[in-house]
């Protein structure tokens, strides 16, 4: 049997984390390929519904990437996000969803290596935890069949 690979959705802020992930690519740092990146203007733009939708559509984990405190392009978007995601993380735990499936990282445009490390670590964690079964049974009919998203091994 083929082991199912984790599906990870990342919401990255345009100004820091997305550029950091880009840097990881341009400097050819190898990292796990199971992450799908969605670029957002700011980590403060990320609504709890985005994360819910990601889980509903089959994500096993979500990574949020924002600027380090003090670096926000919009001054305090990441600080608002920090409060929001503290609360969200508590909610997930209370509902019975592993908090490891929700990761937040401050990653600057210069931290390509940090981004690569984060992705690898989260992939390892999710492989250990296994797929997010909680939502699976409810949403089978919405999920993309496994074959359509098969990732080619290098």
Partner 1 sequence: MISKERLLDAIREAGAKDYAVFAPVAKDAGVMLEEIDDPASINFDHVLTVNTLKDVGLPRVEALAEFDRDARTMEAIRDDDGKVLVFGSRPCDAAAQKILDAILIGEITDSRYAARRERMVMMTLACSTADDACFCSSMGYGPHDPTGSDVLLLPKGTEFIVRSHTPRGEEFLRELGMTPDADVEGDPPPELKRKVETGGLKEKLDKNFDDPIWNSVSENCVSCGACFYMCPTCHCFDVIDESGLSRGRRLRLWDTCSFAGFTKMASHQPRVGRHARYRQRIMHKFKYTVDNVNLVACVGDGRCIRACPYGVDLCEVLEALVGNE
Partner 2 sequence: MTSNLEEPLRAKAAELLSSGKVDLLIGYGRAFLGESVRPVFLRQDADTAKLIWNDRCAHNLATYLMKEPCLGLVKGGGRVAVVAKGCDIRAIATLIQENQIERDRVHIIGMACSGVRYDEDSRDMAIKCRGCEVQLPALYDDLIGSEADTGEVEGEPREDIERILALDRSARWEFWTRELSRCIKCYACRQACPMCYCGECITEKSRPQWIDKAASLKGNIAFHYIRAMHLAGRCVACGECARACPMNIPVDLLSRFLSRRVEEAYAYKAGMDPEADPFFLVNRQDDPGEFIR
- Summarize as ranges the residues that interact with partner 1 (CB under 8 A): 57, 139, 141-144
Residues 22-41 that bind partner 2 (CB under 8 A): none
Q: How far is the CB of 107 from partner 2 (least distance, A)?
A: 9
Specify the length of the chain in residues: 154
**Residue window 95-114: x/- pattern of binding to partner 2, with contact defined by CB under 8 A:** xxxxx---xxxx--------
Q: How far is the CB of 46 from partner 2 (least distance, A)?
A: 12
Q: What is the spatial distance between Cα 151 and Cα 154, in angstroms, rounded to a whole number?
A: 9
Residue 136: how many CA atoms within 13 Å on its side-chain side?
11
Query: Within 2-151, where are the H helices?
Result: 17-26, 48-56, 77-95, 112-129, 133-139
Partner whose footprint covers residue 57, from partner 2, partner 1, none (CB < 5 to 8 Å by kind): partner 1
**Residue window 48-87: x/- pattern of binding to partner 2, with contact defined by CB under 8 A:** xx--xx--x------------x------x--xx-xxxxxx
For position 134 contacting partner 2 by CB under 8 A, the verdict is yes
Nearest to 70 by CA among 15, 128, 27: 15
Burial level of 83, CB count in 10 A (0-12/13-18/19+)?
A: exposed
Which residues of this protein are in contact with partner 2, per CB under 8 A? Answer: 47-49, 52-53, 56, 69, 76, 79-80, 82-91, 93-99, 103-106, 118, 134-135, 138-139
């Amino acid at each position: 049997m083929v082991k199912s690979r984790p599906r990870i959705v990342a919401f990255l802020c345009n100004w820091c984390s997305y550029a950091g992930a880009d840097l990881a690519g341009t400097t050819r740092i190898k990292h796990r390929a199971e992450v799908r990146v969605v670029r957002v203007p700011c980590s403060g733009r990320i609504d709890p519904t985005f994360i819910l939708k990601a889980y509903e559509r089959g994500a096993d984990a979500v990574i949020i990437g924002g600027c380090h405190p003090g670096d926000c392009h919009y001054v305090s978007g990441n600080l608002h996000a920090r409060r929001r995601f503290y609360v969200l993380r508590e909610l997930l735990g209370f509902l019975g969803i592993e908090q490891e499936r929700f990761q937040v990282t401050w990653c600057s445009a210069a931290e390509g290596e940090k981004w690569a490390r984060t992705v690898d670590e989260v992939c390892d964690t999710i492989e250990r935890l296994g797929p997010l079964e909680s939502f699976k049974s409810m949403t089978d009919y919405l999920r993309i069949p496994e074959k359509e998203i098969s990732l080619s091994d290098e």
